Structure 1
Amino acid sequence: MVVLHTTLAIALVIGLIIWLRVEPVISLMLGSLYLGLASGVGFTDTLTAITGGFGEIMGKVGLLIGFGVVIGSLLHATGAFSRMVQALVSAVGAGRLPYAMAGAMSTIFPSIYVDVQVVLGAPVARSAAPLLGRTGLPLLAGAIGTGIFSGYVFVVPGLAVILIAGQMNVSLGSWLVGGLVIGLATALLTTFLFSLLLRTNYWKPETDEDASEAMLETEAQEAQAPAAAQGPGLLLSAAPIIVPLLMIAFGAFAKLAGVSNDFISFIGNANLAMFVGLLGAYLLARRWIGEERTTEALTDGFKTSGEILLITGVGGSLGAIITASGMGAELGKLFSHDAGGPVLLSIVLAWFIAAVLHVAIGSVSVAALTAASIIGPVAAQIDVSPIIIGFAIASGALFAVQVNSNFFWMFKGLMGLSTKGALKTLTMVTSIAAVVSLGLVLLASIFG
């Protein structure tokens, strides 16, 4: 019954938002209340899980979102994003830009938290979108989404990689090359397939795009900004983004190398890194556009971040209710006894377990960890290499990032999309990526 009630809760949220046009915060709260009460969590514990889930998510990403959105607002006001986009287009060309962003997100940045990647990448995507025409925004949004999660589950040191490898007793060294190839190929192939879909009447800007007034106002100010010569140079413009990424990467790779102390943890902390980026963006803005325009940009950033924070937090509440309902344990009972069988069946089964867990729980990392925990103890009975099973779990965990994921709501708000638009980009590309990568894993099993 937990599986049924979880399915109904997710359907309720989607239906209320898309068909009845109920605000996402209200829809998510109704879905959370229904699931908690229907699945037997209890009256008091349902409310405890809702508030606890909200607080937990805010503790993890609240400052990241707030700082990141304000960084974006300040850099927009200085014209920094225009200079970055111009440099990217000059380097790779407008037509290759989606592939460049998908490739970079999947291979260069997996050491960076996915929340940081989307917070810093979204303004660049929105600035570059007009260069690609009517479907530029969904194409770049899809490229960023598939790039982020392909790297997260396949490329060392993505968090999901580390979780799966640990449970499956696979060394990160043996995972490294195969994961890099599958992750990059998945990101690029998915971006290509999604671009073909966008050539149809799939995308409807009037219903699929929904940027806040503050976001549009900030972008309009950038479009009217003085010539680039009157602003900071490209390297200086990019510093508030590059420096936080380097700080976080330093901490991640130090941890991977087994080097850890308070100073490294301090420098590599994502919240501190984003604050350093915010401080840099603030100083740039004060220097180049003056105190008054800087204050206006800060105000716009605070307006935009408020809505995103509230929706993201309530999305975390739904995730907490799903966890409290015991969904993971129920699926573990369903699948823990399956082990032996043909190679193809074993790979597809591992993929399916992770995919179902992700759709139910709403967290890629939790789905990956739970699936690996279910399969790990019986891995010795499976006539397939543990690394191939690990790749299959990673592939399944990609499937369908949607409304029960707090990342989904961050992505929606930061990209300026409606809920339908976020489903048609993030949910669609992660579903395509899961299927594409499954094919690549099956191919790898032939040679592995």
Structure 2
Amino acid sequence: MIALHTTIAIAAIILLIIRAKVDPIIALVLGCLYLGLASGIGFEKTVDAITSGFGDIMAKIGLLIGFGVLMGALLHRLGAFKVMVEALVRVVPANRLPYALAMALATIAPSIYVDVQVVLAAPVARSSSKFISKDGLAWLSGALGTGIFCGYVFVIPGLAAISIAGLLKVPLGTYLIYGIVIGPLTALITVWIFRRMLALGWWDATKDEEESEALAEEEAAGEVRDGGRRPSLLLAISPIIVPLLMIAFGAFADLAGKSNAFIAFIGNANVALFLGLLGAYAIARRFVGTTASADAFSDGLHTTGEILLVTGVGGSLGAVIKATGLAKLLGGLFSVNAGAPIVLSLLLAWFIAAVLHLAIGSVSVAAITAAGIIAPILGSIPVAPVVVGLAIASGSLFALQVNSNFFWMFTSLLGLSTRGGLKTMTTVTSIASLVSLPLVVVAALVS
């Protein structure tokens, strides 16, 4: 009966979000309450599980999410991301620009929220597409979508990546070591495959492209309002690069057995991201002034609240599932014996995340919910937790489509029809999900 009630709870969450258009936070809490009460753990234990699950995940990643979002908001206000993309356009040959754009988005940009990334990058992709051969807009659109979401789920400090690692209790340095390889590699392979599809006639500009009235407005909104005064490229990306280097240094020192108290301190993700936030704040104060910096900080705080609540309630769902005793039952699905290879465990984790994404339409909510479901049974899965997290990340990428708000923003800003959006964003996220899965399997073999 516990399995049945869990299925009902998850189905109810999905239906509330899709059909009733209920906010994911409310839907997740209602699902937690139903599961706890229907499974018989009682009123008090249900509430305790919800609150303790929320508190546990916030203790692990609450500051990380807050620092990352605030840093992204300040960099957005600075025009730092636009500086980076424009630098790519200047130095990269036209036929290599989609690869460079995908790589930059997957490695440097994850600290900036995905909606902001597409607003800033879309005008550059549109204006650069004419310098590329036939189907340039389609290729750059696919590269843009690929890079954004490969960074979002695989690369720290992407918010989905931080959430998955936190829910599964994976050290961020460990997740970064694997993700910084799998994410960009997935992006490059996906862009290459998509280019081959375009060469075979996948794109029809007359049906897949259309003018976008929102484009000019968003392009104007993306400009720095201080008369164009911006930091240099190196200064603009330093708040992102320095924390990544600090986290990676700490992780590699730990793996090599050379860590000490000071190295552990500077390699701590909270310390590293706070330093990045300080850097972004100082640069913003210098280039756009105190008032504009304060406004950007306020915008970041607004975004942070919603993200923290969704992530925290994802932790609550996992805690309620653990309290019901379902972990032992689900653990059987992931048990590995001579007749069931390790890859089956990864496929199940991937499948759960992919189905949730198809149903809910949000990469982050799908990843958080899947991690919340699987976290209580990690001990039953004979695979390193980081690899399970990567499998969830891979599955949560699958087929971003029309039930996603991002999909409609993407098509509007890039001047694509609905069909064009399906043939770019939905296609490349599906390819990326399928491409990354074997890479995750390889990671399982070497972990």
Work out the percentage of aligned pairs sharing the same amino acid: 48
User: Which residue does the alignment assign to 1:297?
Assistant: 296
| C-alpha distance in 1 between matches for 2:426 and 2:44 | 33
| C-alpha distance in 2 between matches for 1:428 and 1:14 | 23
Using the size of structure 1 for normalisation, the TM-score is 0.65
User: Which residue does the alignment assign to 2:252?
Assistant: 253
User: Which residue does the alignment assign to 2:3?
Assistant: 3
- Aligned ranges 1:63-74 → 2 under 5 Å: 63-74=63-74
| C-alpha distance in 2 between matches for 1:297 and 1:50 | 32
Mind listing any 5+ residue stretches in structure 2 that lack a counterpart?
127-136, 157-161, 169-173, 357-367, 398-403, 411-421
| C-alpha distance in 2 between matches for 1:12 and 1:254 | 45
Post-superposition offset of 1:181: 8.4
Alpha-carbon contact 1:46-1:321 (below 8 Å) kept: yes
Provide closer, same or farther for how the CA distance between residues 144 and 7 of structure 1 changes in structure 2, counting only shifts above 3 A: farther
Letter aligned with residue 395 of structure 2:
A
- Where 1:259 maps in the other structure, the secondary structure is coil
Provide closer, same or farther for how the CA distance between residues 72 and 97 of structure 1 changes in structure 2, counting only shifts above 3 A: farther
Provide closer, same or farther for how the CA distance between residues 429 and 49 of structure 1 changes in structure 2, counting only shifts above 3 A: farther
Letter aligned with residue 111 of structure 2:
V
Provide closer, same or farther for how the CA distance between residues 67 and 185 of structure 1 changes in structure 2, counting only shifts above 3 A: closer
User: Which residue does the alignment assign to 1:339?
Assistant: 337
Letter aligned with residue 289 of structure 1:
V
User: Which residue does the alignment assign to 2:150?
Assistant: 146
| C-alpha distance in 1 between matches for 2:74 and 2:180 | 34
Letter aligned with residue 20 of structure 1:
A
Post-superposition offset of 1:429: 7.1
Matched, 1:20 2:20: yes
1:131 to 116, 124, 128: 124
User: Which residue does the alignment assign to 1:119?
Assistant: 111
Cα shift readout 1:193-234 (whole Å, capped 9, x = no counterpart): 689799699999x9xx9xxxxxx99x9654252454x33211
- Aligned ranges 1:10-409 → 2 under 5 Å: 10-92=10-92, 99-100=99-100, 103=103, 118-120=110-112, 122=114, 123-133=116-126, 140-147=144-151, 149=153, 186-190=186-190, 222-228=222-228, 230-334=229-333, 336=335, 339-341=337-339, 346=341, 349-355=344-350, 362=369, 367=374, 373-375=380-382, 396-398=391-393, 400-401=395-396
Letter aligned with residue 295 of structure 1:
A
Letter aligned with residue 314 of structure 2:
G
Using the size of structure 2 for normalisation, the TM-score is 0.66
Letter aligned with residue 51 of structure 1:
T
| C-alpha distance in 1 between matches for 2:428 and 2:234 | 32
Letter aligned with residue 30 of structure 1:
L
Post-superposition offset of 1:335: 5.1
Provide closer, same or farther for how the CA distance between residues 220 and 245 of structure 1 changes in structure 2, counting only shifts above 3 A: farther
Mind listing any 5+ residue stretches in structure 1 that lack a counterpart?
110-116, 153-157, 164-171, 210-215, 377-388, 403-410, 418-423
Number of positions where the alignment pairs a residue of Structure 1 with one of Structure 2: 380
Post-superposition offset of 1:285: 1.8
Post-superposition offset of 1:322: 2.6
Provide closer, same or farther for how the CA distance between residues 221 and 190 of structure 1 changes in structure 2, counting only shifts above 3 A: closer
Cα shift readout 1:251-288 (whole Å, capped 9, x = no counterpart): 11111211222211211111121221121122112222
Post-superposition offset of 1:20: 0.9
Provide closer, same or farther for how the CA distance between residues 267 and 412 of structure 1 changes in structure 2, counting only shifts above 3 A: farther
Cα shift readout 1:118-157 (whole Å, capped 9, x = no counterpart): 43464445421333359878863543333555679xxxxx
Alpha-carbon contact 2:246-2:267 (below 8 Å) kept: yes
